[in-house]
């Protein structure tokens, strides 16, 4: 599974890049057509993936979410990421975080990625942890 994750690193980076462009356009109040085109591109990147690829992408996201600590500050939208010590290797992390995803269908995996708002943050952290 880790070898597939290394092969999918460029696709995960492409998803993050498109999401960053969407966020930049939304903050600049660019016309909706440009944002819709980018959202369509992001959707195509996700939905053109096989079930196994979606499974790995979602696992990387779960690693990024689960292996970091988070501190929320009262009265602020700021979230501080705390880098906790990681005791498992890359293969063990992939196995640990994919355990319950085995039962998900392709469409469930695609929807859980496509309609989730913290994809970039979790992919970035997961890829950093897994050294992808």
pTM assigned to the model: 0.90
Check residue 34 and give its pLDDT: 86
Q: Which residue has the tokens 């989730």?
A: 116
* pLDDT score at 17: 96
Q: Where are the domains of the chain?
A: 2-126
Per-residue confidence (pLDDT) for residue 25, from 0 to 100: 86
What was the pLDDT predicted at 129?
A: 95
Nearest to 92 by CA among 36, 130, 46: 130
Strand partners, 32: none
User: What letter does residue 82 receive in the DSSP assignment?
Assistant: E
Write out the chain's pLDDT in tens, 132 residues. 999 999 999 999 999 999 999 988 888 877 788 889 999 999 999 999 999 999 999 999 999 999 988 888 888 888 888 888 999 999 999 999 999 999 999 999 999 999 988 899 999 999 999 999
């Amino acid at each position: 599974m880790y070898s597939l994750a290394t092969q999918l690193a460029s696709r995960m980076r492409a998803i993050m890049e498109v999401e960053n462009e969407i966020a930049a356009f939304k903050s600049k109040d660019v016309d909706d057509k440009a944002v819709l085109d980018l959202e369509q591109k992001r959707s195509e990147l996700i939905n053109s993936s096989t079930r196994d690829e979606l499974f790995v992408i979602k696992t990387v996201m779960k690693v990024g979410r689960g292996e970091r600590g988070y501190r929320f500050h009262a009265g602020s939208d700021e979230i501080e990421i705390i880098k906790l010590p990681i005791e498992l290797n890359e293969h063990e992390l992939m196995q640990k975080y994919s355990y319950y995803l085995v039962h998900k269908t392709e469409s469930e995996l695609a929807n859980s990625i496509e309609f989730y708002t913290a994809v970039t943050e979790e992919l970035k952290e997961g890829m950093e942890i897994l050294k992808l």
